[in-house]
């Protein structure tokens, strides 16, 4: 029963992470890492499939082994973060929503800049 809950949580996290690729403000990486952690506890087969994925696998492995992100991945993430927040702020109709998005953007960027990067 517990393993089924971990697998369910992993599937939900993976789904949210995939949605985060196209939806601004929905973070992709944390949900993918959470899915990996859930699958690790609930299904070794699903965890191995996620690690074997050609795009997500190396990112998860880097994070699990060294708590770092490849420099190329990090540079792409900067572009997507700036673009998604820029579009969201430009399209937000209310001033306080724009301000809130700006605050979230600054907090996210301060955290992301501090995440170590490696040069794989």
Q: What is the pLDDT of residues 4-17, one digit of tens each?
A: 999 999 999 999 98
Which residue has tokens 């699903």?
Answer: 46
pLDDT of 49 higher than 90: yes
Q: Where residue 21 falls among pLDDT bands split at 50, 70, 90?
A: confident
Whole-model pTM over 0.85: no
The burial class, CB within 10 Å (0-12 / 13-18 / 19+), for 74 is: middle
Q: What is the mean pLDDT of residues 86-101?
A: 92
Higher pLDDT, 26 or 76: 76
In degrees rounded to 5, what are phi and psi of residue 43? -155, 105
The burial class, CB within 10 Å (0-12 / 13-18 / 19+), for 89 is: middle
Would you list the domain boundaries of the chain?
Answer: 1-67, 71-120
Gap between the Cα atoms of 81 and 79, Å rounded: 6
């Amino acid at each position: 029963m517990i393993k089924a809950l971990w697998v369910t949580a992993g599937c939900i996290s993976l789904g949210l992470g995939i949605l985060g690729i196209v939806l601004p403000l929905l973070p992709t990486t944390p949900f993918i890492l959470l899915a990996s952690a859930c699958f690790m506890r609930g299904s070794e087969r699903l965890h191995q499939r996620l690690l074997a994925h050609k795009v997500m696998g190396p990112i998860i492995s880097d994070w699990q082994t060294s708590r770092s992100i490849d420099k190329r991945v990090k540079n792409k993430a900067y572009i997507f973060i700036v673009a998604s927040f820029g579009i969201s702020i430009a399209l937000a109709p209310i001033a306080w929503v724009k301000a809130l998005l700006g605050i979230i953007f600054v907090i996210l960027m301060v955290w992301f800049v501090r995440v170590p990067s490696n040069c794989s």
